[in-house]
Structure 1
Amino acid sequence: MKRTLLLLAALAMPAHADIAVSANDGKQVLDDGRQIVPSPLVPDSISILDFGGGKLRVVATVAAPASVIGPPRSVAITPDGAYAIVTCARRVRADGKDIEPDDRVSVIDLKAAKIVSTIRAGAGASGIAIDPSGRRVLIANRAAGTVSLFDLAGGSLRPLATVAIGPTTSSPAQPIFYDGGRQALVTRDGDNRVSRIVVGSDSLALVEPATMASLRPYAIDAAGDRHFAVTGNIGGGGRDMDTISLIDLSGAVPVTVDTVAVGLTPEGVKMSRDGRYVAVTVNNGSNMPRASRGWSDHGLLQIWRIDRGRLVKVTEAWMGGWGQGMVWSRDGRQILAQAMLGNRIESFSFDGTHLRRGAVLTLPVGPAAIAGVE
Structure 2
Amino acid sequence: MRDLIVSTNDAKYRRVDGRDTYPEGAGADTLDLIDASAYPPRIVASVGISTTIAGPPQAVALSPDGRYAVVSAPNRYDRERGASVFENYLQLVDLQGTPPRVVDKAATSHHPQGVAFHPQANLLAAATAGGTVESFAIEEGRLIRKHELTVSKGRLAGIAFTPDGKAALAALRDEQGVAVLEFAGGRLQATPERVSAGVAPYAIDVCASGWAVVGNVGLAGLPGQAAQLAGDADTLTLIDLNQRPFRAVQHLSVPSLPEGVAISPDGRWIAALCMDGSNLAPGNPARREQGRVALFALRDGRAHPAGELPAGAGGQGIVFTADSRHLLAQFNVDSMLAVYTVADGALADTGHRIPTTGGPVSIRAVPGRRS
C-alpha separation in 2, matches of 1:345 and 1:96:
32
Please tell me whether the aligned partners of residues 180 and 192 of structure 2 are also in contact (alpha carbons under 8 angstroms): yes
Q: Which runs of 5+ in 1 are unaligned?
A: 1-14
The TM-score, its normalising length taken from structure 1, stands at 0.90
C-alpha separation in 2, matches of 1:162 and 1:359:
42
Shift of 1:229: 0.8
- What letter is aligned with 1:80? D
C-alpha separation in 1, matches of 2:38 and 2:44:
16
The TM-score, its normalising length taken from structure 2, stands at 0.91
Match of 2:70 in 1: 85
More displaced stretch, 350-359 vs 289-298: 350-359
Shift of 1:32: 2.0
Deviations 1:270-321 (A, max 9, x none): 1111222111101011111011111111111111122222221111221111
Match of 1:212 in 2: 196
* SS of equivalent residue, structure 2 residue 178: strand
C-alpha separation in 1, matches of 2:261 and 2:254:
11
Whether 1:68 aligns to 2:53 is: yes
Please tell me whether the aligned partners of residues 236 and 264 of structure 1 are also in contact (alpha carbons under 8 angstroms): no
Deviations 1:213-233 (A, max 9, x none): 1111111110122x2111011
Shift of 1:122: 3.1
Equivalent residue pairs, number: 355
* SS of equivalent residue, structure 1 residue 180: coil
Shift of 1:101: 2.1
Match of 2:135 in 1: 149
Identical pairs, percent: 28
Q: Which runs of 5+ in 2 are unaligned?
A: 221-228
Match of 2:122 among 135, 149, 165: 135
Are residues 52 and 326 of structure 1, via their aligned partners in 2, closer, same or farther at CA, if it must alter by over 3 Å? Answer: farther
Match of 2:269 in 1: 277
Match of 1:119 in 2: 106
Are residues 342 and 197 of structure 1, via their aligned partners in 2, closer, same or farther at CA, if it must alter by over 3 Å? Answer: same
Please tell me whether the aligned partners of residues 50 and 74 of structure 2 are also in contact (alpha carbons under 8 angstroms): no
Shift of 1:31: 2.6
Whether 1:254 aligns to 2:241 is: no
* SS of equivalent residue, structure 2 residue 339: strand
Match of 1:358 in 2: 351
* SS of equivalent residue, structure 2 residue 164: helix
Task: Summarize the alignment of residues 102-117 of structure 1 with structure 2, pairs less than 5 Å apart.
Answer: 102-112=87-97, 113-117=100-104
Please tell me whether the aligned partners of residues 216 and 233 of structure 1 are also in contact (alpha carbons under 8 angstroms): yes
C-alpha separation in 1, matches of 2:68 and 2:287:
39
C-alpha separation in 2, matches of 1:332 and 1:29:
31
- What letter is aligned with 2:22? V
More displaced stretch, 45-54 vs 327-336: 45-54
More displaced stretch, 146-155 vs 214-223: 146-155
Shift of 1:94: 6.5
* SS of equivalent residue, structure 1 residue 222: strand
Please tell me whether the aligned partners of residues 89 and 126 of structure 1 are also in contact (alpha carbons under 8 angstroms): no
More displaced stretch, 153-162 vs 180-189: 153-162
- What letter is aligned with 1:137? L
Deviations 1:207-266 (A, max 9, x none): 1242221111111110122x2111011114342210001111222211111001101110
Shift of 1:147: 0.8
* SS of equivalent residue, structure 1 residue 24: strand
Please tell me whether the aligned partners of residues 56 and 360 of structure 1 are also in contact (alpha carbons under 8 angstroms): no
Whether 1:368 aligns to 2:364 is: no
C-alpha separation in 2, matches of 1:158 and 1:73:
21
Shift of 1:179: 5.7
C-alpha separation in 2, matches of 1:60 and 1:53:
16
RMSD: 1.7
- What letter is aligned with 1:158? I
